[in-house]
Amino acid sequence: MEHWDLRTLEVEPHQPKILHSARGEARSILINLPAGEELQDHQVHERAYVVVIDGEVELGGQTGAAGSAAVFDPNERHAAKAISDARLLIVLAPWPGNGHPGARDEVK
């Protein structure tokens, strides 16, 4: 078992911290997003689960405070803007998703 205290774990702004990554399963990332900054509109090949650990963010056109969660389908465009200093946990699954440059097709 691995364990983290997501509220106190050190993570610098603009330097996401990969907590766990298992090929074929999921990748967990902790992000420190200072007030007023954003993860610009983007998409990922995986399903993206976003949990607000601290602070308040605008996510998918809605405001979410600590304890809020959202899920985005693979390739669904999304952005996140910190209304106050925020800490986000992002889980991408399966990792890597279909079409991701790091995904390898199985040879049969």
In a domain, 41, yes or no: yes
What percent of the chain shows pLDDT beyond 90?
A: 80
In a domain, 74, yes or no: yes
In a domain, 67, yes or no: yes
Mean pLDDT of 40-44: 91
Query: From residue 16, how far is each of 89, 98, 104 by CA, in Å?
Result: 10, 23, 24
Of the pLDDT bands very low, low, confident and very high (cuts 50, 70, 90), residue 104 is: low
In a domain, 23, yes or no: yes
Structural domain tally of the chain?
1
Domain of 72: which CATH number? Answer: 2.60.120.10
Mean pLDDT of 41-63: 94
What percent of the chain shows pLDDT beyond 70?
A: 94
Q: Which domain holds residue 71?
A: 17-93
In a domain, 7, yes or no: no
**CA atoms of 55 and 64, how far apart (whole Å):** 9
How high is the mean pLDDT of the chain? Answer: 91
In a domain, 43, yes or no: yes
In a domain, 101, yes or no: no
Amino acid at 55: G
In a domain, 72, yes or no: yes
Task: For 59-98, write each residue's pLDDT tens digit.
Answer: 988 999 999 999 999 999 999 999 999 999 999 999 887 7
| The pLDDT value given to residue 107 | 34
